[in-house]
Every structure is written in structure tokens, then in C-alpha cells.
């Protein structure tokens, strides 16, 4: 009963942490904490930010790469969370993987074609209106 976490930048794999002990009812945040305890590498670290009850917690920094907003509204780099290759519908505190799942983090640029209508659209909007934690309408 294990999980794995894969870390990518623009879909290019940087690292995989395998054999993370799975416990029924654990969320992605707990899996990441277990991976941290197993990995014992200063490079594997992460930070979370709370975006309100609708969006929950998001990873804002992973392996020292942080979310970034450019000088124009179209430049937004962030960590997208995928479970077995599909977008997570919830934050790390409300996403519950199953035994054997692959948790994937991909540092990528926001694009309308890929991210419009997803939770990342709402997180991006929140960041663009000053990061107050309340998504814009």
C-alpha cells in the first residue's frame, strides 16, 4: 500500500519519490509530509497557501520553485496538481488519493486552452487581484 509523487517542470520529470506509505483517508498534504520525512533531502521542501474554503490549500513553492505572476496577466507560473494524470478538483487538503495513485506536480505556465474553467483559473484570479484570498468574480 504505497503512493508515489512525481515532480516535473513543463512536463519534464525531475524526480520521483516512490513507496510513500498509504493510509486510508490521507490527503495529498499528508502524503507530501510523509514523502518529506522519507526523502530527507533539503531540496525537497514545500510551502502552502490557503485560498479560502472554496479552493483550500495550494502548493505555492515546491523544490524551491515558487508561483510567479509576471508583469502581464497572461504570465502566471504555478504548480498544477494531477492525480494519475488528471487535474485535481480540490486543494491538497481536500484531495484524497487511493492506494497506488501517482501524485504529480507539474510547474507550468497558465494557458487558457489548458486551464480555463479549472480551479487554477480561480487561484490565478485570486493572485491577480492582490492575493487577498478571495477569488475575483
Domain containing 84 — which CATH number? 2.170.130.30
Residue 56 CB neighbours (<10 A): 19
- Residue 135, domain member (yes or no): no
Number of domains in the chain: 1
Element (H, E) at 124: helix 119-128
Strand segments, DSSP code E, in the chain are 2-9, 12-21, 46-50, 57-62, 65-66, 68-69, 76-83, 86-87, 102-109
Does 113 reside within a domain? yes
**Residue at 73 is within a domain:** yes
Q: What is the pLDDT of residue 121?
A: 87
- What pTM did the predictor assign? 0.86
Q: Which domain holds residue 100?
A: 2-128
Share the mean pLDDT of the chain. 87
The DSSP bridge pattern shows strands 102-109 and 2-9 to be parallel
Amino acid at each position: 500500500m504505497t503512493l508515489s509523487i512525481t515532480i516535473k517542470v513543463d512536463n519534464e520529470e525531475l524526480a520521483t519519490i516512490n513507496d510513500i506509505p498509504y493510509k486510508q483517508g490521507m490527503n495529498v498534504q499528508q502524503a507530501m509530509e510523509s514523502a518529506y520525512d522519507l526523502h530527507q533531502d533539503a531540496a525537497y521542501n514545500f510551502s502552502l497557501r490557503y485560498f479560502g474554503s472554496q479552493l483550500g490549500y495550494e502548493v505555492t513553492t515546491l523544490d524551491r520553485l515558487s508561483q510567479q505572476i509576471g508583469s502581464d496577466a497572461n504570465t502566471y507560473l504555478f504548480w498544477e496538481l494531477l492525480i494519475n494524470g488528471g487535474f485535481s478538483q480540490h486543494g491538497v487538503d481536500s484531495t484524497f488519493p487511493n492506494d497506488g495513485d501517482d501524485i504529480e506536480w507539474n510547474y507550468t505556465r497558465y494557458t487558457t486552452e489548458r486551464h480555463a474553467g479549472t480551479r487554477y483559473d480561480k487561484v490565478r484570479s485570486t493572485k491577480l487581484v492582490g492575493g487577498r484570498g478571495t477569488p475575483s468574480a
